[in-house]
Structure 1
Amino acid sequence: MKERIGFIGIGLMGHGMAKNLVEKGFPLTVLAHRKREAVDDLKGRGANEAASAREIAEASDIVVLCVTGSPQVETVVLGPDGLAAAGKPLMIIDCSTSEPASTRKLAAELAPKGIAFVDAPLSRTPKDAWEGTLDVMVGGDPAAVLRARPILEAFAGRIVETGPVGTGHTMKLLNNFVSMGYAALYSEALTVGAKAGLSPTVFDAVIRDGRMDCLFYQTFRKYVIERDRNAHRFTLTNASKDMTYLAGFALALGVANPVGAAVRNSFAQAVATGHGEDYVPMLSDLVAEWNGTSLVPSTNPKG
């Protein structure tokens, strides 16, 4: 019989992940979300709904978290009506993008309570979450990771074991540094091109299918060229948060991180100017606007 799964965080990524779990036969209980659509959809597929994290823990053997970051993880786990308040053995799989130091501290605090903690952050998009083809980086005790694998395989196409607890979240920060770095680079390169008279379609014709092409560029260009707002549904606020986590992590290691600081500032400026809920590829429009040009063909003064 499959283990009972609780799921907290049925947002853009979590909805698809939870859908795959319930469709693949896992008894599933979800926590009420601020938007009822995902809850109602999952209940229609056979999931149950709980009113608190504690109720989720009481109904589950394993709980998957897919929330914003470390403060939210800590509240869900250690809050007065949190998972630990149920006072029972449990496994927690944290698929959020969290701070590695917080993850290691939380795992150490939970172990004496009989609660195993695995960090399993994600890569790819909500579309991949829905299709069950996410990439997962997983850190934790080998026995805990082995137990977590069937759950991860329900929504992942690729699983990479990274080492002890906390290493999954470390790798996720590095992954997001690279991807958000690309986003900042694309945005500036497109803006320089626009100011010089080269349209985004010319830029795309050179990059696409060449040595500098990649899956991240393909979703980025889908917005820039095709104006598909849903091509990469990851908010600028989340990008800024992740780059802030990276900055703190690098500082704690004593590592100079000047490129990371530049990338972080690009996203911080976007958030500070009121665009936090826009998605990552939309940074390109903001950088162009800040420089007095546009990437939209009909409004680009340089053509």
Structure 2
Amino acid sequence: MLAIRFDRFGGPEVLTPVDVPAPVPGPGEVLVAVEAAGVNFADTFQVDGSYLDPALLPHVPGGEVVGRTEDGRRVLAKVAHGYAELAVAREAALVEVPEELDAARALALLTQGLTAWHLLRSAARLRPGESVVVHSAAGGVGSLAVQLAREFGAGRVLAQASTPDKERLALDLGADEPARYPLARRADVILDAAGGELFAHALGSLADFGRLVTYGNASRAAFAALDPGRLGRLNASVVGFWLRPTLALPGALDGPLKELFALTLQGRLRPVAGPEYPLAQARTAHEELLARRTTGKVVLRPGAV
């Protein structure tokens, strides 16, 4: 079968289409014929060595797929090696996907949707009427966070994005206005995956008892040490978030995901489908993602040319 593999750490150039044997499910596992594989920023960290031990090379990346089981069920699944025509998933972790929900939107709701849901509900503990600033508001997580903030009762939603077109997308999704630092009014909640300069601006822009939730470092800039005394003077907090350990908690997956499915099918939530690439063009997909030239959910399609 066709898969995308890297044999050494590096940039997108190390991603190579290869022919490999089909995986064999073990006890409690099922084989999934991949309809589409999601591309996440975290995948680029696997490729450059930030997430993986060298002993795990060679490696097929990809953590999520939509596909069909051998008995015909259409499912959404967390997997270990999703950039392939076939993947193995735990039976207990499969989520059946309605036929009317296309693969790109379903994939957007798994990693990005659950991240946005937990950022607002679990990490920030958003209260009705509070103001929310969303960084990278046209991206996979950001575009959903803008909408969910509104759905969860935020009073004002401000969107930070890297280009005017991305700002317009965020406004179309429900943001009240673009975020410009310094903010005209301090914010109760700020969601940041960029780090670097944006993190510094955000920290100084929190209202009393505001929460800055950090869930990534797309800028790759080194974080300055946080002075607890400064947090005290700001009367604010910084909250770290990572989806992987969160999903190990009871009720962290099924309930939120079912709510996201329902909101989407009701038309109240619009996952943004980004560009789609043939599986063999995974390198191009990573290049575009890293260059911030994509919006919404990026997917790879086995069988596409």
TM-score interval for Structure 1 and Structure 2 normalised by the shorter chain: 0.3 to 0.5
Q: Which of the two has higher C-alpha Rg?
A: 1
TM-score computed with the length of structure 2 as normaliser = 0.36
Q: Which is richer in strand?
A: 2
